[in-house]
Amino acid sequence: MFDRGRRGKKILNREFIQKLEGISGVENVKTSTASRLSYSYDATAGFQSMPDLIISPRNTSEVSQIVKSCNEQDVPIVPRGSGTNLAAGTTPTNGGVVILFNNMDQVVELDEENLTLTVEPGVLTETVHGYVENRGLFYPPDPSSGKISTIGGNISENSGGLRGLKYGVTKDYVLALEAVLPNGDIIYTGGKLAKDVAGYDLKSLLIGSEGTLAIVTQATLKLIPKPPSKQTMVVIYKSMEEAAEAVSAILANRIIPATLEFMDQETIRVVEDYKQIGLPTDCEALLLIEQDGPEAVVANDIEKINEICQRFGAVSITRAANEQEAESLRRARKDALSCLAQLTPTTILEDATVPRSEIATMVRAITETAEKYNVRIQTFGHAGDGNLHPTCVTDERNKEEIKRVEEAFAEIFQIAVDLGGTITGEHGVGEMKSSYLEWKIGREGIELMKSIKKAIDPNNIMNPGKMFAKSTKKRVVVSR
Amino acid sequence: MFDRGRRGKKILNREFIQKLEGISGVENVKTSTASRLSYSYDATAGFQSMPDLIISPRNTSEVSQIVKSCNEQDVPIVPRGSGTNLAAGTTPTNGGVVILFNNMDQVVELDEENLTLTVEPGVLTETVHGYVENRGLFYPPDPSSGKISTIGGNISENSGGLRGLKYGVTKDYVLALEAVLPNGDIIYTGGKLAKDVAGYDLKSLLIGSEGTLAIVTQATLKLIPKPPSKQTMVVIYKSMEEAAEAVSAILANRIIPATLEFMDQETIRVVEDYKQIGLPTDCEALLLIEQDGPEAVVANDIEKINEICQRFGAVSITRAANEQEAESLRRARKDALSCLAQLTPTTILEDATVPRSEIATMVRAITETAEKYNVRIQTFGHAGDGNLHPTCVTDERNKEEIKRVEEAFAEIFQIAVDLGGTITGEHGVGEMKSSYLEWKIGREGIELMKSIKKAIDPNNIMNPGKMFAKSTKKRVVVSR
């Protein structure tokens, strides 16, 4: 299937390209160097690999034909949404065909009686939010990339977001999937059903499988009534421990806030440097807390949260009087990544996750690890669900520093796992974290996952080079 | 591994039995006819098959050794909780070893900070409810068999219950699993984590896999704060359609009740016959509606529900003034099955499930199908989530009638699937519904599931004869 190219690299042969053009139309197949370059990387620093061809099928049948053709000829396939992946999950590691969903981006059906929305995979997350909220409904999963990410990408990665603690993640809102298997078979799993136990849960197996098992071609999402009101506050603490204790106390008091976000001192400093919004740079922690629901419940919860935050020594508590003020409070947290990204040429955003009881321990450990390896790591993230985003500002051209960054992150993953956490809470394993996966799930877990992969995709055409590494990184002894 | 027995039936040889006795102790291994008879059936009528041996391991390591021994000798394994299965999921279809969890029935840890409860598989569902509710916490899944069912059984079947619509099912409350694979490997999947995307979702794959892939040996459950208040009402309708319209209208008004249960006219009649509690036997539908949550929210929701129920022509609305009255209102619905069971020697309880918008259509179709085949089928169930329990009162010794019952249920499954529903909402496929599974998931879905089963359990020792049938029932043309 591959001819030798002029520069010694294998490229798809003309016959195969024509076959794909025949399936989706010449206008939907691209092989120019410019096009291939555009899809050679995603949002992950330090990973790039050229695909051979980019194709934009117009419907499920075309996806099936493309996959079947690739499977017959062992051509790798990389399904790709908007490429916002942060773990090199959408880089064409082994070349091959990138499948885009820009021609499959329609809302198919809103079912107000069953509270479901059926969409094609190319629909933007933000489009779904706007579409349903205009009708008094709510689709809770809100990955930070939601303005440009697609629902297909969210499903492949089981995306989380700021509302995970109270509302759950993408998986909790997918009721049914249509998907194409590596052999071209089209399967339908789930339904507009609150309960369905007909066989294995294929739907959950595909969600978060990072394009390594099948290609999602349609999804039916669960909607819930839109919460009628919302309140927002920002709380500042001198010490990390006080902030962590306040977070624990809020939850121990049986209050589950809609948002419970955290920024460490380094992040506060950088945001204040760039935005000059009056953040206290001598404080170790900022919490952004929001509650939504019926007005009386929200008022009551926010009052209790206020009292708890004071009890644990808050330096300041700012409550938004209206949506405009709320948005300006959210700003600091929302701007964290973009401010950090301005510091240096390369930003590496990680998502080590721990049980929420371990947040203070984990944040301290991250700071100490950064010092140990002499790298700059700031931490912000979702305090309520223990999903932290230690973020390293570095320069990928500085090989020596990058080596230290990698060592620091390896140690951070190891500490997270030792605390009962995971190497990735919402970003996925991709190519980047594949050599750490065994630390979380063990050799037995890896073997089990590989056996499933092999059973479903015997020719390993689906996003090869992701999730499973050739070898597992050795764990070092962490002295703490 | 099998010797020929005296009556020509294969039995386990002495050496193998001694090996198992060596693992779990002589006192935890039973091979007497009385013991084997006790575990030859579950709650499903018409299915019985003798196991060869019953064993009660005391810990995960013993489970692993037992499974490994069975795998080496191709001996079937049937893991069993309390045997309340309604789809012949726990009958030893191919004989072999029944594994009980009466020695693994401890609450391991309540983690109040992370709101989790870790338990062994033999813990009763009711024990979990009591344990956490005494501490102001809540474990929502509430299968009707909860008084005697085990958490291990609930996980194997992904059990639902009355609170499914608002709170979800077992799968939504399992955070982590320890499980033994057919090769004896012990795996750990998930964690005390709201977010974890490290590889394939093995946890969801095992939940609801009916003991065909692995044996759950420990589970960490997610708890939520206990709702502070609850209100209960019973609403009677002359016609099914009015009741169904009221249900739709409640949900369309963005109210998600904690309970939204339904009984049809036949069920009302039977309950009234036995209990004489003044139910109007000339009415087609009874709805049991409950809402829980903060007091103000509950009061407001119940007021709105009351108004909606009246608007759609309720004959009567009875609201409980206190918990005692609430319990007596719940009585009618709770007694439905036991009243029906007194009518005839055999009760077959099914769980065809449809999108909730199709409930009225489905209930009518069930009634018509029962008439067509001249069998007695009453329907009650969970109106809010479309999970219906058409229940046939019959006599399994009457072969001719049982044939008609089977034909009627086949037609009911077919109609459910045609309406976008499923052949089983919460009971599982087991042996009983295996020949209908393809109707829901297609040939492609069956092939995919079989390939997963084969990859994980190549010797087919785990609960063989379940889920996958030798052949699929032919679909007949339903004239409606």
Which H, E and C letters describe A359-426, residue by residue?
HHHHHHHHHHHHHHCCCEEEEEEEHHHCEEEEEEEECCCCHHHHHHHHHHHHHHHHHHHHCCCECCCC
Mean pLDDT, rounded, for A47-63: 97
Q: Span A378-393, mean pLDDT? A: 92
At residue A7, does pLDDT exceed 60?
no
Asked if B254 contacts A225 with a C-beta cutoff of 8 angstroms, the reply is yes
Test the B interface: residue of A60, A155, A200 with most B CBs within 10 Å: A200
Contact A442 B386 (CB under 8 A): no
CA distance, residue B374 to nearest chain A CA (Å)? 28
Chain B (415-444) residues lying within 8 Å, Cβ to Cβ, of chain A: 420-429, 437, 440-442, 444
Q: Which residue of A has its CA nearest to B436?
A: A198
Residue of B nearest to A211 (CA): B200
Residue A257 near chain B (CB below 8 Å): no
What pLDDT shows up at residue A2?
Answer: 57
Amino acid at site B450: K
Read off the tokens for A268. Answer: 């506060």
Hey, is the C-beta of A476 within 8 angstroms of any chain B C-beta?
no
Nearest CB to B209 within list A188, A200, A353: A200
Instruction: Answer for the pair B203, B174: CB distance below 8 angstroms, yes or no.
Output: yes
Report pLDDT for B5.
46
Task: Give percent of chain A above pLDDT 90.
Answer: 84
Mark which residues 186-215 of A lie under 8 Å from B by CB.
186-189, 191-202, 204-205, 207-209, 213
Nearest CB to A199: which of B429, B444, B451?
Answer: B429
> What pLDDT is stored for residue A473 in this prediction?
86
CB of B250 less than 8 A from some CB of A? no
Residues B357, A114: C-beta atoms closer than 8 Å = yes
d(CA A295, CA A230): 8
Q: Judge whether residue A252 has pLDDT over 50.
A: yes
pLDDT digits (tens, 9 = 90+) for A34-50: 999 999 999 998 899 99
Task: For B198-234, write each residue's pLDDT tens digit.
Answer: 999 999 999 999 999 999 999 999 999 999 999 999 9
Task: State the pLDDT at residue B451.
Answer: 98
The residue assigned the tokens 């603690």 is A165
The verdict on A85 touching B (C-beta cutoff 8 Å) is: no
A392, A409, B461 from A266: Cα distances, Å: 11, 17, 56
Cα gap B174→B204, rounded to integer Å: 9
pLDDT at B254: 85
Model confidence at A478: pLDDT above 70? no
Cβ contacts of A174 on chain B, cutoff 8 Å = none
Largest CA distance in chain B: 72
In chain A, the residue whose alpha carbon lies closest to the alpha carbon of B466 is: A199
Nearest to B195 among A251, A385, A420 (CB): A385
Q: What is the pLDDT of residue A5?
A: 46
State the sign of the Cα–Cα–Cα–Cα dihedral B308, B311, B313, B316. Answer: positive
C-alpha A440/C-alpha B130 separation (Å) is 33
Question: Which domains does chain A carry?
Answer: 2-100 (3.30.43.10), 107-225 (3.30.465.10), 228-334 (3.30.70.3450)
Q: Do B198 and A423 touch (CB under 8 A)?
A: yes
Which of B192, B197, B253 would best serve as a mutation to test chain A binding (most A beta carbons within 10 A)?
Answer: B197
- Is B429 within 8 Å of B211 (Cβ atoms)? no
Task: Compute the average pLDDT of residues B2-27.
Answer: 78
* For range B385-410, the mean pLDDT: 94
Average pLDDT on A456-474 reads 94
Q: Which among A114, A199, A205, A196 has a CA at the least distance from the CA of B159?
A: A196
3-state SS class at A230: strand
Nearest CA among B173, B131, B119, B125 for reference residue B146: B125
- Which tokens hold the place of A121? 């995979």
**Sorting pLDDT into bands at 50, 70 and 90, what band is B7?**
very low
* B37 inside 8 A of chain A by CB: no
Cβ under 8 Å to B: A residues 263-302: 293-294, 296-297, 300
A27 in B contact zone (CB under 8 Å): no
Q: Cβ contact (<8 Å) for B171 and A201?
A: yes
Amino acid identity at B458 = P
Q: What is the CA radius of gyration of chain A?
A: 23
CB A13 within 8 A of CB A3: yes
**Cα–Cα distance measured from residue A96 to residue A459, given in angstroms and rounded to the nearest whole number:** 14
Spell out the SS3 assignment of chain B: CEEECCCCCEEECHHHHHHHHHHHCHHHEECCHHHHHHCCCCCCCCCCCCCCEEECCCCHHHHHHHHHHHHHCCCCEEEECCCCCCCCCCCCCCCCEEEECCCCCCEEEEECCCCEEEECCCCEHHHHHHHHHCCCEECCCCCCCCCCCEHHHHHHHCCCCCCHHHHCCHHHHEEEEEEECCCCCEEEEECCCCCCCCCCCHHHHHCCCCCCCCEEEEEEEECEECCCEEEEEEEEECCHHHHHHHHHHHHHCCCCCCEEEEEEHHHHHHHHHHHCCCCCCCCCEEEEEEEEECHHHHHHHHHHHHHHHHHCCCCEEEECCCHHHHHHHHHHHHHHHHHHHCCCCEEEECCCECCHHHHHHHHHHHHHHHHHCCCEEEEEEEHHHCEEEEEEEECCCCHHHHHHHHHHHHHHHHHHHHCCCECCCCCCCCCCCHHHHHHHHHHHHHHHHHHHHHHHCCCCCECCCCCCCCCCCCCCCCCC
Q: For residue A11, what pLDDT band results from cuts at 50, 70 and 90?
A: low
More confident residue, B11 or A327: A327
Nearest CA in chain A to B440: A198
Cα–Cα distance for residue pair A55/B477, rounded to 1 Å: 41
Cβ distance A445 to B251 less than 8 Å, yes or no, reads: no
- A169 to chain B, any CB pair closer than 8 A? The answer is yes
Beta bridge partners, B233, equal B289, B319
pLDDT-derived band at B4 (thresholds 50, 70, 90) equals: very low
Residues 6+ apart with CB under 8 A from B118: B107, B108, B109, B111, B176, B218, B219, B220, B221
Residues of B in contact with A154 (CB under 8 A): none
Q: Please give the Cα distance from A30 to A104 (Å, whole number).
A: 17
Cross-chain residue pair A252–B112, CB shorter than 8 Å: yes
Compute the distance between CA of residue B189 and CA of residue A12 in angstroms, rounded to an integer: 40
Banded model confidence at residue B332, pLDDT cuts 50, 70, 90: confident
Strands (E), A266-375: 285-293, 316-319, 346-349
| Contact flag B195-A171 (C-beta cutoff 8 Å) | no
User: What is the value of ipTM here, to two decimals?
Assistant: 0.94
Q: Please provide the DSSP assignment of A132-156 as one string.
A: HHTTTEE-----TTTTT-BHHHHHH
Collapsed DSSP state (helix, strand, coil) of residue A224: strand
Distance of CA A275 to the CA centre of its chain: 26
pLDDT, mean of residues B350-374: 93
- Residue B3 pLDDT > 60: no
pLDDT in tens, B369-388: 999 999 999 999 998 889 99
A456·B452 Cβ contact <8 A: yes
More confident residue, A360 or A222: A222
- φ/ψ (deg, to 5) at B366: -65, -45
List residues bridging with B462 in a β-sheet.
Answer: B77
Beta bridge partners of B218: B178
In angstroms, what separates the C-alpha of A80 from chain B's closest C-alpha? Answer: 18
> Is residue A208 within 8 Å of residue A156, measured between CB atoms?
yes
pLDDT confidence of residue B476: 66
Calpha distance B328→B382 (Å, rounded) = 19
pLDDT > 60? residue A12: yes
Across B346-356, average pLDDT:
92
Is the pLDDT higher at A191 or at B383?
A: A191
Determine the distance from the C-alpha atom of residue B391 to the mean position of all C-alpha atoms in its chain, rounded to a whole number.
14
- What local confidence, expressed as pLDDT, does residue A272 receive? 92
Output the pLDDT for position B139.
Answer: 98
Chain mean pLDDT for chain A: 93
pLDDT of residue A474: 82
Residues of B with Cβ-Cβ distance to A429 under 8 angstroms: 197-199
Lowest mean pLDDT among A15-19, A238-242, B8-12: B8-12
The whole-angstrom distance between A434's CA and the closest CA on chain B is: 9
Reported confidence tier of residue A477, pLDDT bands at 50, 70, 90: low
Residue A1: pLDDT above 80? no
Across the range B299-308, mean pLDDT stands at: 96
What is the per-residue pLDDT for A251?
A: 86
Least confident of A108-122, A364-378, A463-477: A463-477
The whole-number pLDDT of residue A8 equals: 41
Contacts of A296 in chain B (CB under 8 A): 294, 296-297
Residue-level length of chain B = 480
User: Residue range B449-472: average pLDDT?
Assistant: 96
Contact A195 B387 (CB under 8 A): yes
Q: pLDDT of B244-275, one tens digit each?
A: 889 989 988 889 999 999 999 999 999 999 98
Instruction: Dump pLDDT digits (tens) for B152-181.
Output: 999 999 999 889 989 999 999 999 999 999
Mean pLDDT is lowest, of A413-427, B8-22, B417-431, for: B8-22
- Interface contact flag, B202 A294, Cβ < 8 Å: no
Give Cβ neighbours of residue A191 (< 8 Å, ≥ 6 apart). A175, A176, A220, B355, B420, B421, B422
Best probe of the B interface among A186, A189, A193, A195, by most B CBs < 10 A, is A195
Assess contact for A245 and A312: CB atoms under 8 A. yes
Best mutation target, B135, B200, B302, B382, to test chain A (most A CBs within 10 A): B200
Q: Given an 8 Å threshold on Cβ–Cβ distance, is A424 in contact with B205?
A: no
d(CA B53, CA B98): 6
Q: Is the model's pLDDT at B86 over the cut of 90?
A: yes
